[in-house]
Amino acid sequence: MTDPKPSILFTRCSGVLLHPTSFPGRYGIGDLGHHAFQFIDFLAHSQQRLWQVLPLGPTGLENSPYMCFSAMAGNPLLISPEQLYKDGFLEANDFDNLPTFTSDRIHFNQVTRVKYPLFHKAYERFQINATSNQRHAFEQFCHEKAEWLEDFALFMAIKRYKQGISWSSWEPELAEREATAIAACRETLSAQIQFEKFLQFEFFRQWSEVKKYANTYGVQIIGDIPIYVAHDSADVWANPKNFCLNPDTHQPALLAGTPPDFFSQTGQLWGNPVYDWNYLQQSDFQWWVQRFQAMLDYVDVIRIDHFPGFAHFWAIPENETDARKGKWISAPGEQFFQTLEQKLDTLPILAEDLGIITPDVEALRDKYQFPGMKILHFAFADPASPYLPFKYQPNCVVYTGTHDNDTTVGWFNSLGKEEQQNVLKYLGCTSSDGIHWDLIRLIFSSIANLAIVPLQDILGLDSDARMNTPGKQQGNWEWRYEENALTDEICDRLKDMTEFFYRAK
């Protein structure tokens, strides 16, 4: 087959993993204001060509970007108030008496309480003061995104009206989207629906400016598609036939997870509904194609989280408290990617293929030449580990660690003395001083085409800067870097290493 992917996936280059919520700034959470552009300047000056983000959707349960209210919408908390001010939709006195936020952590509830009143003021002024060009841009956006925007805006309007309860607990006529009930909600909640559309308009307008700036400086953005979506989402509510749901309760009839293994005797029960792949295949994978099309509107490359689920998946019956009674079910991954390639012409995809990978997953990944992932933190415990650099093939992307790993400094400090000595011996080091740069050097020097480093590792931060600890219920997704963290010294060191190992632009 002809290669459908952009050249960046086959180019020797490097990049940084950082979610936009981790930018500094005065509003308690990173957003798409000037710090986003400053970060891109840092990438450009240090000769990085990739910026990887986590899912950008509106977060729900526990603020996880992997459990969003929509697979296609953007997170309003990323909207920059300063950009709204520059556009004339906020005034200087709107910022009077703002609270002082902590600079290194996100307190999501406080951020929401501060930002949403500003958004409402901005929408009110937009209604009154928007120019004809701005109104036209809003109308055009609503028209172009209507395929998912109409359902999402209605879903969020109803959800806010019902104080956040899950759609499966709404009145049956709303949960089942009866035409009369839906029409009544569209009329009664029309103002809130328009407000939700405005938030999406502003998010995508601001994000498109950030992406345009990045691309201008030779930086491509890697987005993230979690294979599963949250049950309490517009995706499941508006498209229930795509999922295995109990028709009486609207709860998942089969739940996603993983079987028991060496790490967990009871497996993992994620709670997402699994897909009805038979129905999806009969519909020519329409929803999935729409999802990829929507995402490629605002990123350059897509990382698929839990790629093995396109070959087979572990399905757990409802009402189970753990994953032991699940079963393997095959998924039509080959037919899906054939359809996707026909619809999109290009498949700029990275495959998250971590863990125990079976031959059918390898065959699916390799047929389309999707780069798989290598994690250096996983390499040193076993001399047969596939994550040791001398085992790599060029067509892969290597990380020191990901958002689910500890930082490199925290990881090294957590190892036993013997394990630490093994790592230092492999690196050829006598001291752990600068261990983060030693691991960055190792992945940059590897044969892997793509090398990506979490910003926490470039900054040499310890476990306090960890983004996510799987299985931990609180304290995740909160880290932010400090205002003056991206120093010239760090930029120059990263640039020198990038150039030395032939990963520069």
Compute φ and ψ for 500, nearest 5 degrees: -65, -35
Rounded CA separation 295/299 (Å): 6
Q: Who contacts 66 (Cβ-Cβ below 8 Å, separation ≥6)?
A: 54, 55, 226, 305
Catalytic residue among 41, 334, 404, 462: 404
Asked whether 449 and 9 are in contact (CB, 8 A), the reply is yes
The two three-digit tokens of residue 27, written as one number: 């509003």
Continuous segment of H or E residues that includes residue 335: helix 333-344
Asked whether 444 and 14 are in contact (CB, 8 A), the reply is yes
Rounded CA separation 399/455 (Å): 11
Asked whether 288 and 280 are in contact (CB, 8 A), the reply is yes
Asked whether 203 and 196 are in contact (CB, 8 A), the reply is no
Buried b / exposed e along 356-391 (16+ C-beta atoms within 10 A): ebeebbeebbeebbbbbbbbbbbbbeeeeeebbbee
Rounded CA separation 306/155 (Å): 27
First to last CA, the chain: 28
Rounded CA separation 468/476 (Å): 5
Q: Who contacts 208 (Cβ-Cβ below 8 Å, separation ≥6)?
A: 298
Q: Catalytic annotation on 261?
A: no
Asked whether 206 and 32 are in contact (CB, 8 A), the reply is yes
Neighbours of 131 (CB within 10 A): 10
Catalytic residue among 151, 202, 232, 305: 305
Asked whether 257 and 269 are in contact (CB, 8 A), the reply is yes
Rounded CA separation 142/235 (Å): 18
Q: Catalytic annotation on 187?
A: no
Find the angle CA(227)-CA(232)-CA(236) to the nearest 5 degrees.
Answer: 60
Rounded CA separation 406/412 (Å): 9
Rounded CA separation 316/355 (Å): 19
Q: Catalytic annotation on 322?
A: no
Catalytic residue among 196, 232, 276, 352: 352
Catalytic residue IDs = 305, 352, 404
